[in-house]
Amino acid sequence: MKIALVSPYDFPYPGGVTEHIIALANGIRQQGHEVHILAACSGYQGEVFPNTRVVTHKVAAIPIGGAVARVGLSPLSYIRIKKILRQELFDVIHLQEPLTPSITWWVLMQARALPGTVTIGTFHAYHEQPNWLYKRGRPVFGRFFTKLNSLIAVSEAARHFAYQMFPGDYRIIPNGVDLNRFGKTNQKALPFKPDPNKKLTVLFVGRLDKRKGFSNLLDAFIKIKPNYPQLQLQVIGPFEPKDCQPYQKIAQAHSVTDIEFVGYVSSEQLPGFYHNADIFCAPSLGYESFGIVLLEAMAAGLPVVASDIAGYRAVIADGQEGLLAPPGQPKALARALRQLLDQPCQRLEMGQRGRLKASQYSWDCIVDKTLEVYTDTIERKIKMPINFFYRQSKNNSNGRTQRRHANYVQRSRTQV
Helix axes 214-224, 241-253, angle to 10 degrees: 30
Could you tell me if 166 and 204 lie in one domain? no
Q: Do residues 44 and 10 make contact, with C-beta atoms less than 8 angstroms apart?
A: yes
Bridge partner residues of 260 (DSSP) = 234
Closest by Cα among 289, 295, 225, 233 to 254? 225
Could you tell me if 253 and 189 lie in one domain? yes
Give, in degrees to the nearest 5, the angle at Cα 137 between 131 and 143: 120
Could you tell me if 341 and 385 lie in one domain? no
Could you tell me if 59 and 168 lie in one domain? yes
Q: pLDDT at position 310, please?
A: 87
Could you tell me if 299 and 371 lie in one domain? no
Written as one string, the DSSP assignment of 339-405 is: HHHH-HHHHHHHHHHHHHHHGGGBHHHHHHHHHHHHHHHHHHHHHS-HHHHHTT----TTSHHHHHH
Q: pLDDT at position 204, please?
A: 98
Domain of residue 307, CATH code: 3.40.50.2000
Could you tell me if 24 and 164 lie in one domain? yes
Q: Do residues 262 and 205 make contact, with C-beta atoms less than 8 angstroms apart?
A: no
> 10-residue block means of pLDDT along the chain (416 residues)?
92 82 93 93 63 82 66 83 92 94 90 88 80 69 90 93 91 93 60 63 93 95 96 94 94 95 91 96 89 93 95 92 96 97 96 95 94 95 62 40 44 41
Boundary (domain end) residue, out of 315, 344, 361: 361
Phi, psi values for residue 273, rounded to 5°: -70, -40
Q: What is the pLDDT of residues 151-209, one digit of tens each?
A: 999 999 899 989 988 999 999 999 999 999 998 754 443 344 455 667 899 999 998 98
Q: pLDDT at position 196, please?
A: 60
CA pair distance 138, 201, nearest whole angstrom:
46
Boundary (domain end) residue, out of 317, 343, 361: 361
How far is CA 126 from each of CA 71, 123, 172, 268, 278, rounded to the nearest angstrom? 18, 9, 14, 29, 29
Boundary (domain end) residue, out of 341, 361, 381: 361
Closest by Cα among 269, 294, 309, 260 to 16? 294
Q: pLDDT at position 401, please?
A: 42
Could you tell me if 355 and 373 lie in one domain? no
Helix axes 16-30, 292-299, angle to 10 degrees: 60
Could you tell me if 185 and 162 lie in one domain? no
Phi, psi values for residue 399, rounded to 5°: 85, 5
What pTM was estimated for this model as a whole? 0.78
Q: pLDDT at position 396, please?
A: 38
Question: Does a cis peptide bond (omega within 30 degrees of 0) precede residue 191?
Answer: yes
Q: pLDDT at position 199, please?
A: 87
Which structural domain, as residue segments, surrounds residue 118? Answer: 2-176+363-415
Could you tell me if 36 and 56 lie in one domain? yes
Give, in degrees to the nearest 5, the angle at Cα 67 between 138 and 57: 80
Could you tell me if 195 and 331 lie in one domain? yes
Could you tell me if 29 and 106 lie in one domain? yes
Closest by Cα among 169, 178, 23 to 96? 23
Query: Which amino acid type is present at position 66?
Result: G
How far is CA 266 from each of CA 242, 270, 272, rounded to the nearest angstrom? 20, 6, 11
Query: Which amino acid type is present at position 319?
Result: G
Q: What is the pLDDT of residues 123-134, one digit of tens each?
A: 998 876 666 666
Count of domains for the chain: 2
Could you tell me if 262 and 345 lie in one domain? yes
Bridge partner residues of 40 (DSSP) = 10, 56
